[in-house]
Amino acid sequence: MVNFTGRIRLIYGILFLVGLVLIGRLFFIQVVYGGYYKDQANRQYKTSSANDMDRGEVFFKDKDNKLFSAASIKKGYLVAINPKKINNSADAYQQLSQVITLNKEDFLKAASKKDDPYEEVARNLEQEQADNITKLKLEGVGVYPESWRFYPGDNLASQAVGFMGFSGNDFIGRAGIEKYYESVLGGEPNSPKLDSFAEIFTDLKKTLSSGGAYKGNVVLTIDPIVQSTLERELAKLLETYSPKMAGAIIIDPKTGKILAMSSKPDFNPNTYGQTENASYFNNPAVESVFEMGSIMKPLTLAGAMDMGFITADTMYDDKGFMTLNGKTFNNHDNKVMGRVNMQEVLNQSLNTGAAFVALKMGKDNFRNYMVSYGFGEKTDIDLPAEVRGKISNILTSPRDIEYATAAFGQGVAVTPIEMATALSSLANGGVLMKPYLVDQIQYEEGLGLNKVTEPQEKRKVLKKETTEEISRMLVKVVDTSLQNGTLKLDHYSVAAKTGTAQQKSATEKGYEQNLYLHTFFGYAPAFDPKFLILFYMKDPIGVKYAATSLSGPFMNMTKFLLNYYQIPPDR
């Protein structure tokens, strides 16, 4: 009897273990990897895997944390034909063209391929179009569901968002956020996807730490309201001055968060194949370098002030020009100012004054500050194809002339994002911040499984007292000198500086006589800034100085941002 009972218990034990194994197996098949196997089954009924897009979305986020779609999946239909079954291709074309737009030559060419059972002739159709084609009941014509990448904002932030295209047989991100976060938006190849319920019990830690094991949505720091307002200002610049390019960055100097980033001309990612110039796909903010001109002067003065070589009241004798190593350079207006202080160097944008400061602090010290500001290194912003600034002349040359001209922004070339982050150190108390475009990655909707970007300090570059003094000097530039003080805001302190840089000749040694890069940067409120704006415009026509061309757009954006973010007055 005891032996019989033991056997019964053994059998029950074995059945229990088998049950556990089966339940566990079902759990992993139906729950953990349910999405994966569902996708595999669905693919049996798809005409082409390229038509079944499964990809995370990209969102803009406004000041109230409301999300707006920047890149999503749109569902619709495609039309494909089986040439073998089409007896009268001209008649089929005629009937289809009553419902959708078709290229007759392309359709007839596809219909002539009698040895090919499947030829796509139209894509991205709406439900009504698909229904009307189905009602035609044409032999050899099929309507199939498909999905595709859709950008609701069209051109809005297109160089930052990017687009998708083919790389070999893979349809993947080819530029911008789409490319940089391909592993998140597209997921790693052949990775089974976990269902939300399953992740709670299985691989949550890996999901949050890997950054690419599973698909997710990407939420940008870009505010669509700010972005669209900025793009309107840039469009006006193109219309008014016909430059080769006009761009701008708006950044939170305290965190490195990019609020807006754009350049014109740009492109529409929904129709990127129709873009007339492939260079419009590039993002000049991170992929191009420029000699930035006089917006470098506040950084030069800040370095010397930080080491105690100068104060705002330090005097020097301005002769209107300076000759070093056999090379002569002038102030922009060739005027002789005589004995003036450092405030006037900024007020009047004196090249000789900036050179005086660089030489006074010494080549090694000047070089160290320029490197500390991040010039010549990548910012590591989350965008592809970032390049580093070109400052080799102040890294290796023993000549005074190289340092003197670099002090007022000539002879060294940097990216706009390098310059924006360097200038942010003047606004945030002296810290170089890492800029970023992605606020968070949402791995699973509804469960709060988000990877949030935290602001990252790269290094301390200036004393807080130095930045406060430079800010005070830049406020005085706006209040008294810029456009003769007409841009002053009664209730807000605004710190700003313009720059007009000669452009190097593409064919000869030296600089072009009538080609300039205009720049303008500023931040507000000056002593507790919520934003920093950097405008840049290449080769405008009919205007020589940035103070004329960019003052209006800068002040328009400043007033808008102060109102949009409801920033209280500081004076």
- Could you tell me if residue 268 is inside a domain? yes
C-alpha–C-alpha distance, residues 571 and 243, integer Å: 37
Residue 154 shares a structural domain with residue 252: no
pLDDT of residue 223: 98
Rg (C-alpha) for the chain, rounded Å, is 30
Residue 459 shares a structural domain with residue 488: yes
Provide the number of structural domains found in the chain: 3
pLDDT of residue 40: 44
Residue 215 shares a structural domain with residue 231: no
CB 417 within 8 A of CB 379: yes
C-alpha–C-alpha distance, residues 246 and 231, integer Å: 10
- Could you tell me if residue 416 is inside a domain? yes
Domain holding 360, by residue range, is: 224-564
- Could you tell me if residue 526 is inside a domain? yes
Token pair 């500081």 is at which residue?
570
Residue 209 shares a structural domain with residue 337: no
Domain CATH number, residue 516 = 3.40.710.10
pLDDT of residue 503: 87
C-alpha–C-alpha distance, residues 121 and 81, integer Å: 7
Residue 20 shares a structural domain with residue 72: no
Judge if the upstream peptide bond of residue 525 is cis by omega within 30 degrees of 0: yes
| Residue type, position 337, single letter | M
- Could you tell me if residue 398 is inside a domain? yes
Residue 243 shares a structural domain with residue 183: no
Residue 390 shares a structural domain with residue 365: yes
Residue 313 shares a structural domain with residue 180: no
- Could you tell me if residue 453 is inside a domain? yes
Helix crossing, 351-361 with 400-407: angle to 10°?
130
| Residue type, position 401, single letter | I
Residue 435 shares a structural domain with residue 501: yes
Q: Mean pLDDT of residues grouped by 10 in the chain (571 residues)?
A: 63 70 61 47 41 87 97 94 93 94 94 92 93 94 94 98 91 96 82 45 46 78 98 98 98 98 97 91 97 98 98 96 96 93 98 98 98 98 97 96 98 98 98 98 72 97 98 98 96 98 80 91 98 98 96 98 98 94
C-alpha–C-alpha distance, residues 158 and 513, integer Å: 33
Residue 154 shares a structural domain with residue 231: no
- Kindly tell me the sign of the dihedral angle through the C-alpha atoms of 208, 211, 216, 219: positive
- Could you tell me if residue 571 is inside a domain? no
Residue 40 shares a structural domain with residue 72: no
Q: What tokens were used for 381?
A: 């912003």
- Could you tell me if residue 570 is inside a domain? no
CA distances from 77 to 104, 231, 237, 269 (A): 20, 33, 40, 20
**Strand pairing class (449-452; 119-125):** unpaired
C-alpha–C-alpha distance, residues 346 and 372, integer Å: 22
CB 351 within 8 A of CB 331: yes
Residue 201 shares a structural domain with residue 228: no
